[in-house]
Structure 1
């Protein structure tokens, strides 16, 4: 597997197609997103990584500053921007009650989401999927992006219900303008 990682070393999705760079998700960076588990730009702990690489697949603790007035819902998007694909892989997509202020460890679980958390489909399945980059591919950046939405996603026009929509189909339906946003980047390498 290390050989495959080395062969794909120069192939990475990059920032261009992240949720952060979608025109209708641009907005003022009024929020601050932090974690008890890692600092911005630091290594994500193994407990927050996939089980098949020795982790617990436990979503990290996340906290944020109060969202702007008029925020109807928060949207959390976690993307691996170094995956060797054309677009970043979505490791978690969730809607969060703006009154929550934080999500505890494991709150992004598909089976047992935390209070005020509604987990949606990711690239792999539903709920949080921890880092598990290809061995030898180098460091992968996992970008946790939080958006303060002016309306709930349930009110967005879509052909597929929010709970069943794939991330790349759902993200373009997010209501604009975004009232505020923040991001936190963690790194993991095998």
Structure 2
């Protein structure tokens, strides 16, 4: 009940697209060459309830696939943000680094802390938890866009478990060869 009232009161407040990680990096649009997709939802479509966060859905990370990673890439970094959250900065739902550039995607649930490979590193979400934290927009706040981002790096990031979005922002500066994004929508009425 209180969540719904809070959602309605904050309905017009949003962090904003201009604060997404790829915008904070001021990346040239010519670097947006990686195609990021999911078999769970089409670009711009509703993210199924299965992938919504704890208490709302099953909190299972959706399957992701990508292509057109540059041959020179030495590492991939994944990030999921909600720019429609009523905060100063987008709400971070995932930070993952040290993903081999030879990987072509991530299977369903592979970004959850309980099943994440030791070859990769998970960072902290805004929930202050490691791994995937699915959509949990405030009820009544309206539709939220969830922006899945993949970055191909020219140099190893050196990021370790427990990294934050700010850590990622620091190491991605002048280190991104290419990136891609996939957007999905989720709303709690």
Q: TM-score, normalised by structure 2?
A: 0.90
Residue in 2 aligned with 1:130?
134
Which is worse superposed, 117-126 or 132-141? 117-126
Q: Is residue 39 of structure 1 aligned with residue 42 of structure 2?
A: yes
Residue in 2 aligned with 1:97?
100
Distance across 2 between alignment mates of 1:152 and 1:122: 22
Of the three residues 166, 171, 189, the one matched with 2:169 is: 171
Say if 1:49 and 1:130, in contact at 8 Å, map to a contact too.
yes
Shift of 1:25: 4.6
Correspondences of 1:112-131 after superposition (within 5 Å): 112-114=115-117, 116-124=119-127, 125-131=129-135
Shift of 1:2: 1.7
Distance across 2 between alignment mates of 1:135 and 1:104: 29
**Paired residue secondary structure (1:90):** strand
Say if 1:25 and 1:176, in contact at 8 Å, map to a contact too.
no
Say if 1:74 and 1:148, in contact at 8 Å, map to a contact too.
yes
Q: Which runs of 5+ in 1 are unaligned?
A: 155-160
Residue in 2 aligned with 1:158?
none
Q: TM-score, normalised by structure 1?
A: 0.90
Q: Which runs of 5+ in 2 are unaligned?
A: none
Aligned residues: 183
Q: Is residue 108 of structure 1 aligned with residue 111 of structure 2?
A: yes
Residue in 2 aligned with 1:48?
51
Q: RMSD of the TM alignment (CA)?
A: 1.7
Taking structure 1 as reference, are residues 176 and 24 closer, same or farther at Cα in structure 2, changes over 3 Å only?
Answer: farther
